[in-house]
Amino acid sequence: MNLTEIFDDLCGAVILDIHIDMLNDAITMKLKIVEDDQIRNHEVVFLDVASYYYTKNEQNHRYDFYDSEQVNYLEVTTVEQLYPLGKVKLHIPDNEEWSEWYGTDVNIMLEIWNAILCIDARRISFDGELFELKPKAEFELTTDTEMEGYARFVHYTDVYCATLLGEGQHSHFNDCMSLFQGRMNKLIVAGNADVSQTLERERVERCIPYKVVHGYTIFEAVTPEQEEYIAELFYSIGSINTWAVLCIGEGVEIEFEKIKRKKLVEYIFGERWEPTFRLKPGTACAFLRYDGADLMLVENEFEMGDVKDGELDSVNGKRV
């Protein structure tokens, strides 16, 4: 069974026990499902839990507690894996700046009758079988940074060719965005005229900072919420020749060079410009084509941790 099938099967399950282990970053639920006079018991464990949020009911009924003499169990109404990620924000009027740092993403939402439990976890165990909840990628060192016909990168220390391992309906571009969520400084998108026109309309309506240089759309100072929206937009309007570069960290400079073409070709197809990305220490760039699962990560002393088993996950943008 995949996660979607498991979550569908858990709808209507009786919660026998729920345990939150803050020390070991886990939430364990023991569940019972009664179907066709058959009883099945399951154990669901959310692992590497970074945050969770529980609310008893909607605001006007927050203190309508159950009568324990009449209600002696809880039931799972729905379980959903969220994409785009959900957001929970903390606002304390006397400590606004401080409290803003403690908002969180959530990737799992459980409805328990009228209550909601939101969780941000890296993995889930269902009866001992592990499933990854975060996008992952396999990285392999390479020396090839010349993306012929696309872009060039200079001033770098390491280059990785990566294969995204995500499964399911989400695009690889979305997975790539999630790997570096909240750390993207700029995003440059190249596409055909239809892609450019759609981007023009959408970015104006959404008030997303941008500029257009030689046909390339450059998004700057993008918020995490806008990152998710751009990811969905990129995937919905992209075509086989659409590609993007995510600039991670402060200080990636973008320059454009006009490519020499025969006069007849330039007359028919117009001028062609190619971007060059200059990386300062502490920055990185991720290159991804719309139609491919592979990406290239170019970095200049970018602090992402050490490579272990050649994998990178989205927790703090570190390789693990």
Residue 260 pLDDT level (bands cut at 50, 70, 90): confident
Which residues on neighbouring strands pair with residue 261, listed in sequence order?
none
Number of H helices, E strands in the chain: 6, 19
State the pLDDT confidence band at 219, using cuts at 50, 70 and 90. Answer: confident
- Assess whether 144 and 125 both reside in one domain: no
Q: How confident is the model at residue 145 (pLDDT cuts 50, 70, 90)?
A: low
Alpha-carbon span 203 to 201, nearest angstrom: 6
Would you give the DSSP letter of residue 309?
A: T
User: What confidence tens digit (pLDDT) does each residue in 74-95 have?
Assistant: 999 999 998 667 888 888 998 8
Q: Residue 224 is part of which domain span?
A: 136-317
C-alpha 82 chain-centroid distance: 10
Q: Answer yes or no: do 148 and 228 share one domain.
A: yes
Q: How far apart are the first and last CA of the chain?
A: 27
> Does 248 lie in the same domain as 146?
yes
Query: For 224-231, what is the mean pLDDT?
Result: 68
Q: What is the pTM of this model?
A: 0.55
Residues 69 and 146 in one domain: no
Domain final position from 97, 132, 167:
132
Question: Do residues 312 and 211 both lie within one domain?
Answer: yes
Statement to judge: residues 21 and 111 lie in one domain: yes
Same structural domain, 121 and 159: no
Residues 263, 155 within the same domain: yes
Q: Is the pLDDT of residue 252 over 70?
A: yes
Q: Are 30 and 17 in contact (CB under 8 A)?
A: yes
**Residue given tokens 């990152």 in the structure block:** 227
- Boundary (domain end) residue, out of 98, 132, 166: 132
Q: Do residue 97 and residue 189 come from a single domain?
A: no
Peptide bond into 84 cis (omega under 30): yes
Q: Do 55 and 185 belong to one domain?
A: no
Give the total number of structural domains in the chain. Answer: 2
Residues 43 and 124 in one domain: yes
- Name beta bridge partners: 120: 51
Q: What's the pLDDT score for residue 173?
A: 58
- Residue showing tokens 């450059």: 218
Lowest mean pLDDT across 155-159, 245-249, 258-262, 286-290: 286-290
Question: Please, which pLDDT band fits residue 124 given cuts at 50, 70 and 90?
Answer: very high
Residue 35, pLDDT > 50, answer yes
Query: Domain boundary at 112, 132, 152, which?
Result: 132
For range 290-301, the mean pLDDT: 73
115 plus 23 within the same structural domain:
yes
The mean pLDDT value of the chain amounts to: 79
pLDDT given at position 318? 36
